[in-house]
Amino acid sequence: MHPGIEQFRRALENLGHTVEIIELDQSTRTAREAARALGVEAAQIAKSILFLAGEEPVLVIASGAHRIDAGKLTVILGRPVKLADPATVRDVTGYEVGGVAPLGHRMAVKTIIDEFLFNYDTVYAAAGSPQAVFPCRPGALVNWTDGLVAKIKSDT
């Protein structure tokens, strides 16, 4: 089993939960790849992207159909944000880009969840590997991460 999947599974079990982890032969590194592999809309993919607000890591879980508006994040967080580079993503989360799970990170991260995900009963998020996802309800992401739900999609 991929070590990232095991990291995610342990974190979820520590919260008293389990999910179905779907391992695929093809990559789910991008939202479009994941949607195609699962036969769902890209909007149902809950992509996890790490930003830095100053030195503070912030995980954004957003709909795969939209770009994230950094300006809206800046307003929410009260300071400018920038996208974390792949080395920082690995250092903070323990996962590689394309497989970042919503929880089970190496350090505590504030989490912001795209309100658009609540348009779906079920969304799919990375399960610790670029070839693994899991289905869940958007509300579960909020509960597991203590995430803030906000409008973060770009209007352009």
In tens, the pLDDT along 109-156 reads: 999 999 999 999 999 999 999 999 999 999 999 999 999 999 999 987
CA distance 101 to 17: 15
Percent of the chain with pLDDT over 70: 100
pLDDT in tens, 96-120: 999 999 999 999 999 999 999 999 9
Helical ranges in the chain per DSSP H: 3-14, 31-38, 70-77, 86-93, 138-145
pLDDT in tens, 56-104: 999 999 999 999 999 999 999 999 999 999 999 999 999 999 999 999 9
The pTM (predicted TM-score) of the whole model is 0.94
pLDDT on residue 122: 97
**What CATH number is given for 3-150 in this structure?**
3.90.960.10
